[in-house]
Amino acid sequence: MFLVHEALDSAKIKSDICVLRDGEQATSYVDELDRDLTAACPEIVILDINLPRKKGSEVLQHIRNSVRCRNAVVIVVSTSDSFVDRQVVTKLGANAYFRKPSDYDAFLKLGDLVRDLVNRPSGPP
C-alpha cells in the first residue's frame, strides 16, 4: 500500500484513500455503498487481482454489477503479465491493467496511469 501512496503522491493526485484488505471486505463495501444513497462511490478503484478470500476478478464483477458503483474506473494490478489474466479482467470491465514491476521508479508510473484515467474526457470519443 505504501507504493500506491507514493505513486499517487508523485503524480500529485490528492485523494481520500480507503484500503480494503481482502475480496470479501471489498464486495461488502460495495454492497454498503449500494444501500447508502448518501455515500459516495469511489471514482477510481485500484484492485489487486490476487486478493485473499475472494479473487480480484470476482470483486471486479461485483463492482460492475453494482447499482451505484458500476461506473468507477477500475485499474487491476498484478504481478502477472499473463495474457489470459488481462483478457479476463478486460472482459469483466477493467479500465486498465498495471503489471506490478519490481523497480520502485517503474511502480510510480501507476500514479500517471491513475491521473490519465481520472482526467480523460467522459463519453464516446
What pLDDT sits at residue 16? 78
Q: How far, in Å, CA of 76 to CA of 89, rounded?
A: 8
Q: At residue 121, does pLDDT exceed 70?
A: no
Q: Is 123 left (phi over 0), alpha (psi -120 to 50) or beta?
A: left
Is pTM beyond 0.85 here?
Answer: yes
Angle at 22 between CA 78 and CA 98, to 5 degrees: 15
The pLDDT value recorded for residue 7 is 83
Q: What local confidence, expressed as pLDDT, does residue 71 receive? A: 92
Nine-digit cell at 73? Answer: 474506473
Selection from 81, 62, 82, 80 nearest residue 72 by Cα: 62
| Domains of the chain, CATH where assigned | 2-16+42-118 (3.40.50.2300)
Residue 61: pLDDT over 90:
yes
